[in-house]
Amino acid sequence: MANRWISTLTKKDVTPEASFLNRRQIMAGALAGAGLSSIAGGLHAAPDGLEPNSYEDITQYNNYYEFGTGKSDPAENAHTLTTTPWSVEIAGLVDKPATYAMQDIIDAMTIEERIYRFRCVEAWSMVVPWNGFELADLLNLAGVQSGAKYVAFETAFRPDEMPGVKYPVLEWPYVEALRLDEAMHPLTLMATGIYGKPIPNQNGAPLRLVVPWKYGYKSIKSIVRITLTDTQPPTSWNKANPGEYGFYSNVNPDVSHPRWSQASERPIGGGLFAGRQPTLMFNGYEDEVAGLYAGLDLVANP
Ligand SMILES: Nc1nc2c(c(=O)[nH]1)N[C@H]1C(S)=C(S)[C@@H](COP(=O)(O)O)O[C@H]1N2
Ligand SMILES: [Mo]
């Protein structure tokens, strides 16, 4: 059943309701009241002038199958997820394996804003102003041991709070993984907010991964466990369909999905007539991350 599809246009695609003009107001209000521990560097424009999607686009058009497979299901259903208290177990090849309370993590980290492109494997895209901290900082807090080669992540599994997990769309809990050097890369973010507000449940509260040069499914939501290992961990979409979803899942316009092209993408919120735009190698982060894959055949290792 684990099929993916390019969803059809909905009213939201045609009429983005919250306009970008509201952004500064949203930011101003949110920074005052969000309870984020600190915002380093303040607000800044994205380096290449990326214009973020509206808060509405980002929080109403989601993939979070634990709450249903429709794009509006997560926004409708994810309010049932209890996100306080929350803790994250850091396990495996670390010096300080422990269950860390969410608040202790937040207090130890520096929260900054990162405006990133976000590209789903289904060939739609957005630009999201995340708030969060570098995963490397959290891993360094736990102390990565020399034998560690991979980082595995696990989403909460709560049948009482997650109406979607009664369907075997994927094997639950949702799991993902990165190579250690990918996990330690400065672009790899643990997001705690969007537009300066605490991250909504449908976007993966209270803590989700964001790996901007990979297809969106690598960016696992509502993380409860992080495990450092010496062997490549299983990942949900790869388990569901290894012929369609590889371990790396780097955005690559030259490697098509078996059922559709990845050469272009549909920007969400652009309006009915906005058309498609070309997909960029590593989703536009080639200068930063290509070095991670020197010598790796990107076609043989999708
Ligand atoms: N636990 C979990 N994480 C998940 C998913 C999911 O279904 N469950 N969907 C993935 C996919 S396919 C995408 S495109 C992104 C969507 O993130 P967004 O809803 O914040 O845009 O979340 C990813 N993380
Ligand atoms: Mo996705």
Residue 3 has pLDDT above 90, yes or no: no
Looking at the structure of the chain, the number of domains it has is 1
The per-residue pLDDT for 7 is: 28
Is the residue at 133 inside a domain? yes
Is the residue at 298 inside a domain? no
Return mean pLDDT, the chain: 87
pLDDT above 70: percentage of residues in the chain:
84
Q: What is the DSSP string of 33-97?
A: HS--S--BT-----TT---PPPHHHHHHS---GGG-SSTTHHHHHGGG---SS-EEEEEESBSS-
What is the spatial distance between Cα 226 and Cα 283, in angstroms, rounded to a whole number? Answer: 25
Is the residue at 262 inside a domain? yes
Which residues are registered as beta bridge partners of 131? 113, 193
Is the residue at 116 inside a domain? yes
Cα(63) to ligand 1 centroid in Å equals: 4
User: How far is C-alpha 293 from the geometric centre of its chain's CA atoms?
Assistant: 21
The per-residue pLDDT for 23 is: 36
Is the residue at 302 inside a domain? no
Residue 34 has pLDDT above 60, yes or no: no
Sign for the CA dihedral angle at 244, 3, 223, 34 comes to: positive
Residue 28 has pLDDT above 80, yes or no: no
User: Tell me: the pLDDT tens digits for 159-210?
Assistant: 999 999 999 999 999 999 999 999 999 999 999 999 999 999 999 999 999 9
pLDDT above 90: percentage of residues in the chain:
81
- pLDDT class of 39 with cuts at 50, 70, 90: very low
Q: What's the residue count for the chain?
A: 302
Query: What pTM, to 2 d.p., does this model score?
Result: 0.86
User: Tell me: the pLDDT tens digits for 286-300?
Assistant: 999 999 999 999 999
CA-nearest residue, atom 21 of ligand 1: 62
Measured from the Cα of 173, ligand 1's closest atom is 1
The per-residue pLDDT for 47 is: 52
The per-residue pLDDT for 48 is: 63
| Annotated binding residues for Mo-molybdopterin | 62, 65-66, 120, 155, 203, 208, 219-221
The per-residue pLDDT for 274 is: 77
User: Tell me: the pLDDT tens digits for 98-121?
Assistant: 999 999 999 999 999 999 999 999
CA-nearest residue, atom 15 of ligand 1: 216
- pLDDT class of 125 with cuts at 50, 70, 90: very high
| CATH classification at residue 191 | 3.90.420.10
Pocket of ligand 1 from Cβ distances under 6 Å: 62-66, 120, 155, 174, 203, 216-217, 219-221
Is the residue at 299 inside a domain? no
Q: Which domain holds residue 289?
A: 5-293
Q: Which ligand is nearest to the CA of 219?
A: 1
Is the residue at 53 inside a domain? yes
CA-nearest residue, atom 7 of ligand 1: 64
Mutate to test the pocket of ligand 1, among 7, 57, 117, 219 (most ligand atoms within 8 A of CB): 219
The per-residue pLDDT for 18 is: 31
> Is-contact 210 73, C-beta < 8 A?
no
| Annotated binding residues | 62, 65-66, 120, 155, 203, 208, 219-221
Would you tell me how many other CB atoms lie within 10 Å of the CB of residue 234?
A: 12
What is the spatial distance between Cα 181 and Cα 248, in angstroms, rounded to a whole number? Answer: 12
User: Tell me: the pLDDT tens digits for 202-246?
Assistant: 999 999 999 999 999 999 999 999 999 999 999 999 999 999 999
Q: Write the single-letter amino acid at 226.
A: I
Is the residue at 300 inside a domain? no
**Residues lying with their CB under 5 A of ligand 2, a single-atom ion:** 63, 120, 216-217
